[in-house]
Structure 1
């Protein structure tokens, strides 16, 4: 495996994490439009991102990390996604894998893998597969080989794996049970293919990972399926990060709309006014967006608080409450990210469509990322919870 990144900071508090994220976001925003337009992979930015210590902020305090709240983790994700939506998404499954490790790993695995993260290693993911009956079915196979295992299969939507030192991979063992294998990126027979062609989130590296008789040590395999056979915070943790990404995209589109209307947009001839910022219909639209965005950010913080409680006291009720709070913000963040990206053009006018402004990236990023799982099922889960006292399914997609 490749060497650790040099001079990695260790963040020690929530406050420090937010300050570092805000500073990085300013830097990442500078060339985000160019990276999107040219599909320039953010390799230098990721090195800075890793060395900042932000990839280790969810490592529990007892293992040397900051153990930040989920309110802070979501806010950090939102800040980075606002600056560059792809950079905001790349660590999502890294944090997800760390939560699986927290709830299902043994002490030796936690000590070793958390130490790698604090030293600067990035975890990717190889979870989803194409061609299965549902998006949750898996056929990538894990078979015993001496003191370890061999993996064979092919994955897609492998966000972050192009940039990772380890690739947590969902596999089905010989008993038909899903495990999570933390496979070193440089393992023989493992191939990461940069074949992601989505029209949004263009630099997430969400392409293919191929396993051809790849060896993985037994100590690098962690139970996975059991994280969804009992109440755990794994599912809502994954989902709150998706909501934070969408909220960041929405905030970026909203801020660009404000800037463009203030500096470039001309008033409509029938309005009888001198400046676009005085157009009453524009003011109404901006107000409508602003209120919904503020509501989304408030719900994101609230969901983090519910998730914090579920991690501190994990039971069926606390996990269900956290899952519903996260589903609520997932629903509204989906809608506001799409609305902000679209309304931007309605208010800014034809000039805003020129390629040199790159404003289309906000809607493209939102449209691609919000397809991760269908928002219509969020409303179903929320309604069923409040009306029928039905807890949501124990999985990561509501």
Structure 2
């Protein structure tokens, strides 16, 4: 019998060869945090040249991932002994923000990779953390994920040797262009027990839908994936006792693994801020070169850059973005303190310390969302009607932030912060807190 099933076809991919020159140009990696942020800025400058055109083309971002690989930014958090930059999360967050100024999609791809590449350090045991870090960093692998909590969990069956994942995920950011993919699922007969595992992406059991065609962040390959009988050995079940086939209480029975959630929430806020700052910088150049003064206001100016309302708007946006960045940096510093203190003493982390950091992160999420949406929409008021032309590409900044800020409702972050400040309640760890 002939099947009528439609097999998803991979979209046209961007060509990695267009960035080949940077493999040798960036062959030497930076030695300190300042150098890594300079490298991130260089990547943003390369991407900004044709960001609007690439976004319209909506090709699978293989070239963009290749550029990240050439830059070394995929390794910025990894240990030096495996070829990494050995930088703290605060530098990683700032690098995400910097890249997002030039291209929000690529900033998001970098952010998700940095989170997934460190997953074993948060939810795995020491042996798993070391083994996967060596695998990822020494090979310069890009890591994607299929861990969207709003979907039904992947179902896990198991035998004495392995765990096997089956199911479908609607959102798998970066996974279609990844080397490794993080899977998460629930054991079929014990649905309260979840397992993370990292597996090779290119295998028969993983089929990508290539259906990401949303209004923003169009180059993130965030579409769905079907997972069919994809197995990992018990030794790769992160945080589980492979012999006992049970979660290791010393790894998963403590607050430390729940740090994965505020870690990624702060990733989100940093690429929101990068996109918003990129919008302001783009608009600034446009206003200075193309916006005309309004001739019917009664206080006519020769240049748009002398208009009171334009100066006032830019000044106000700049002040709010500076404040948001300072808040994000404060939360990033707290990430460094938490991970620096407890990575080797995981049992020492208290629910209170975890909760206090989560509320720093929630504060950034609220401010970055409010400010990012306001700035990326508001820049049209100071650039003028002609700035809405498709060829200008100013709209991509708003579309990018609007798309991802719907990931989880910021209203719940406001409520969470309200309970924290009014009732002194720390949030219960969830998939989004």
Task: Please report the TM-score for the alignment, with normalisation by the length of structure 1.
Answer: 0.91
Secondary structure of the corresponding residue to residue 93 of structure 1: helix
1:318 counterpart = 2:353? yes
1:252 to 278, 297, 312: 278
Q: Point out the structure with max Rg over C-alpha.
A: 2
Aligned 8 A contact 1:140 1:171 in 2: yes
- Residues 88 and 202 from structure 1, CA distance in 2 versus in 1: closer, same or farther, beyond 3 angstroms? same
The alpha-carbon deviation at position 330 of structure 1 amounts to: 0.9
In structure 2, the partner of 1:191 is: 207
2:327 to 292, 299, 302: 299
2:216 to 190, 196, 200: 200
The alpha-carbon deviation at position 92 of structure 1 amounts to: 2.6
1:15-30 equivalence runs, <5 A:
15-30=34-49
Q: Using the alignment, how far apart are the partners of 2:54 and 2:31 within structure 1?
A: 31
The alpha-carbon deviation at position 60 of structure 1 amounts to: 4.4
Secondary structure of the corresponding residue to residue 143 of structure 1: strand
Q: CA RMSD in A?
A: 2.3
In structure 2, the partner of 1:328 is: 363
Aligned 8 A contact 1:85 1:245 in 2: yes
In structure 1, the partner of 2:94 is: 75
- Residues 396 and 65 from structure 1, CA distance in 2 versus in 1: closer, same or farther, beyond 3 angstroms? farther
Q: Using the alignment, how far apart are the partners of 1:396 and 1:75 within structure 2?
A: 24
Task: Please report the TM-score for the alignment, with normalisation by the length of structure 2.
Answer: 0.84
Q: Using the alignment, how far apart are the partners of 1:348 and 1:182 within structure 2?
A: 46
In structure 1, the partner of 2:372 is: 337
Q: Using the alignment, how far apart are the partners of 1:305 and 1:278 within structure 2?
A: 39
1:125 counterpart = 2:145? yes
Q: Using the alignment, how far apart are the partners of 1:100 and 1:42 within structure 2?
A: 23
Q: Using the alignment, how far apart are the partners of 1:233 and 1:16 within structure 2?
A: 27
- Residues 238 and 16 from structure 1, CA distance in 2 versus in 1: closer, same or farther, beyond 3 angstroms? same
In structure 1, the partner of 2:243 is: none
In structure 1, the partner of 2:418 is: 383
Equivalences, count: 388
In structure 2, the partner of 1:272 is: 300
The alpha-carbon deviation at position 9 of structure 1 amounts to: 6.0
In structure 1, the partner of 2:178 is: 164
- Residues 228 and 253 from structure 1, CA distance in 2 versus in 1: closer, same or farther, beyond 3 angstroms? farther
Q: Using the alignment, how far apart are the partners of 2:293 and 2:144 within structure 1?
A: 47
1:50 to 63, 69, 72: 69
The alpha-carbon deviation at position 99 of structure 1 amounts to: 3.5
Q: Using the alignment, how far apart are the partners of 2:89 and 2:231 within structure 1?
A: 34
Aligned 8 A contact 2:65 2:142 in 1: no
Aligned 8 A contact 1:345 1:352 in 2: yes
Q: Using the alignment, how far apart are the partners of 1:110 and 1:146 within structure 2?
A: 23
- Residues 220 and 31 from structure 1, CA distance in 2 versus in 1: closer, same or farther, beyond 3 angstroms? farther
Q: Using the alignment, how far apart are the partners of 1:47 and 1:9 within structure 2?
A: 16
2:266 to 240, 260, 264: 240
1:91 counterpart = 2:110? yes
Deviation track 1:64-120 (CA, whole Å, cap 9, x = no partner) reads 633322221111000111110000111333222233311222333223211122121
1:283 counterpart = 2:311? yes
The alpha-carbon deviation at position 322 of structure 1 amounts to: 1.4
Deviation track 1:158-191 (CA, whole Å, cap 9, x = no partner) reads 0010110111011112422111121211222211
The alpha-carbon deviation at position 19 of structure 1 amounts to: 2.1
1:216 to 232, 237, 247: 232
The alpha-carbon deviation at position 229 of structure 1 amounts to: 6.2
The alpha-carbon deviation at position 199 of structure 1 amounts to: 0.7
Aligned 8 A contact 1:125 1:159 in 2: yes
